């Protein structure tokens, strides 16, 4: 997609869309289907003279605390409301963007259901030219009608539908009781510092089917994690804080989160922007997402001045210095192994194909942080443990750091230790007289620890123990001789 095309889309979203809705509001109804009073009121501007022009002007106000925007703060107004709600939201939606969507949904106190997944601006029954459902899940009308029949007509449903049907980036659907899920635990990472130019040129993603630019990409201050040793599942709403310094006013600040594969192809999975009035500290939520990343991938966080394919930034030309920054990223503590009906959304296919761009190896190397906060390997949990936020409580083991004693017979000493968690080698140690090992970032839920030792006299020991929540099995120990 050419640069003028996506630039025009930004103009439409920020300027022409408000004008369109003002025009719709000012249009008369039909002569046969609407009353005379309705038609008169549609063009009556005496209650607030110049309303369309004033309304359009106030929509351009970036101050979230202005009277105009406070009156239209639907998130806070939804708190405690008991109106039955069936909601859909696309994680990669490019029209009704997922900005504050889950704050709104979770503020509603009444009966509620939802589909969340990897689609753009489509409805549950929309299909493509081949008849494929664009969201990917069957039964949209059946499910919504059962919900509203129950809560508006009092008709008990004959089928038990999931409270939330959630599609992740792997195209699999699962049932959840809440989103973000109860076992979504945040890891905080201190990001690298540096300087970027507020020139409105950077793009957050490569050309997609509906949005996207032609570069440049990846301009700004990068921080990368080490490659994952296991699958990592981000599920929730990231939060960024930063201390910025610049000489003038109204600098643009954007935080992007990427899934970066082994070939350094970066796929955008979360983003957020802030118009910073003056130097100082800021903090805000990014877009929520539900994204799985396999072993070998890594996370990348970019601090920059623009996602020009997404927002219409006004460049200031300033050099913005990131004095400090931290990001909080939410990860599932428990594996998801049970799935429900649903195919991958059509939008997901094109997004995975077209959105990534490649980061050069030198940038990845220079930006990699050994202290990037990653979660432990997700454990196998019961439904009750997931609903309770993972195994917790007094007396539970510390899953960030756990020490084990290794023993040898009198007159002998342990010289080699190998430790495995769920069959994966996590520690290899040689020494003259080993007595204790420490394993870090153990999984939540159910997992198995196997420890193999060898002594100076050639004796071997194999100890296997299973942990589940706060409970551990008796060790199964076998001895041998090399």
Asked if 184-384 and 401-481 have one fold, the answer is no
Cβ(279)–Cβ(249) under 8 Å? no
- The CATH class of 184-384 is mainly beta
- pLDDT for 395 equals 39
Cβ(435)–Cβ(358) under 8 Å? no
Topology (CATH level 3) of domain 401-481 = Immunoglobulin-like (2.60.40)
Quick check: pTM over 0.85?
A: no
Over residues 441-461, the pLDDT tens digits come to 777 667 889 999 999 999 999
Which region among 271-280, 310-319, 405-414 has the lowest average model confidence (pLDDT)?
405-414
Over residues 58-67, the pLDDT tens digits come to 887 878 788 8
Which region among 129-143, 354-368, 388-402 has the lowest average model confidence (pLDDT)?
388-402
Query: Residue 52: pLDDT band by 50, 70, 90 thresholds?
Result: confident
CA distance 342 to 361: 37
Alpha helices of 277-404 — where are they, by DSSP H?
346-354, 361-367, 383-387
Angle, helices 51-59 vs 17-25, to 10°: value is 150
Three-state DSSP class for residue 107: helix
269 DSSP 8-state letter: E
CA distance 50 to 398: 63
Mean pLDDT of the region 67-78: 90
Which region among 33-42, 77-86, 210-219, 260-269 has the lowest average model confidence (pLDDT)?
210-219
Residue percentage of the chain with pLDDT more than 70: 90
Pairing relationship of beta strands 319-332 and 280-285 according to DSSP bridges:
unpaired
In the chain, where the domains are located: 28-176, 184-384, 401-481
Mean pLDDT of the region 246-258: 97
Give me the numbers of helices (H) and strands (E) for the chain, helices first please.
11, 24
Residue 47: which residues within 8 A CB-CB, separation 6 or more?
Answer: none
């Amino acid at each position: 997609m050419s640069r003028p095309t996506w630039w025009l889309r930004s103009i439409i979203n920020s300027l022409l869309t408000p004008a369109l809705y003002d025009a719709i509001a000012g249009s008369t109804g039909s002569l046969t289907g609407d009353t005379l009073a309705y038609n008169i009121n549609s063009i009556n501007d005496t209650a607030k003279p110049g309303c369309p022009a004033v309304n359009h002007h106030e929509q351009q106000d970036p101050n979230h605390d202005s009277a105009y925007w406070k009156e239209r703060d639907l998130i806070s107004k939804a708190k405690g409301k008991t109106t039955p709600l069936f909601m859909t939201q696309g994680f990669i939606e490019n029209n009704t963007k997922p900005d504050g969507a889950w704050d709104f949904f979770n503020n509603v106190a009444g009966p509620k259901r939802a589909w969340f997944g990897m689609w753009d601006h489509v409805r549950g029954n929309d299909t493509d030219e081949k008849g494929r459902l664009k969201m990917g899940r069957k039964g949209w009308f059946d499910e919504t009608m059962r919900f509203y029949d129950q809560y508006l007509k009092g008709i008990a449903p004959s089928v038990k539908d999931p409270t939330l049907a959630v599609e992740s980036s792997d195209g699999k659907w699962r049932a959840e009781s809440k989103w973000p899920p109860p076992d979504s635990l945040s890891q905080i990472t201190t990001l690298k510092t540096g300087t970027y130019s507020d020139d409105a040129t950077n793009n957050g993603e490569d050309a997609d089917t509906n949005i996207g630019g032609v570069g440049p990409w990846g301009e700004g201050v990068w921080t990368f994690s080490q490659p994952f040793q296991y699958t990592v599942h981000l599920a929730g709403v990231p939060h960024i804080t930063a201390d910025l310094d610049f000489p003038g006013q109204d600098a643009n600040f954007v935080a992007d989160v990427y899934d970066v594969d082994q070939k350094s192809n970066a796929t955008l999975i979360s983003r957020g922007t802030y118009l910073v009035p003056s130097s100082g500290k800021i903090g805000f939520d990014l877009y929520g997402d539900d994204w799985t990343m396999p072993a070998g991938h890594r996370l990348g966080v970019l601090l920059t001045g623009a996602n020009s394919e997404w927002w219409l930034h006004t460049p200031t030309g300033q050099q913005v210095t990131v004095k400090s920054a931290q990001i909080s990223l939410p990860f599932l503590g428990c594996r998801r192994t049970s799935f429900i009906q649903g195919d991958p959304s059509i939008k997901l296919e094109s997004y995975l194909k077209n959105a990534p761009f490649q980061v050069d190896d030198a940038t990845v190397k220079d930006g990699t942080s050994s202290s990037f906060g990653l979660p432990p390997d997700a454990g196998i949990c019961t439904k009750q443990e997931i609903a309770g936020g993972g195994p917790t409580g007094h007396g539970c083991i510390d899953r960030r750091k756990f020490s084990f004693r290794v023993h040898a017979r009198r007159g002998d000493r342990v010289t080699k230790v190998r430790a495995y968690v769920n069959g994966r080698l996590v520690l290899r140690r040689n020494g003259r007289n080993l007595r204790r090992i420490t394993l870090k970032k153990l999984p939540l839920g159910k997992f198995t620890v196997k420890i193999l030792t060898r002594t100076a006299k050639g004796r071997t020991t194999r100890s296997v123990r299973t942990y589940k929540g706060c409970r551990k099995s008796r060790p199964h120990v076998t001895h041998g001789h090399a």
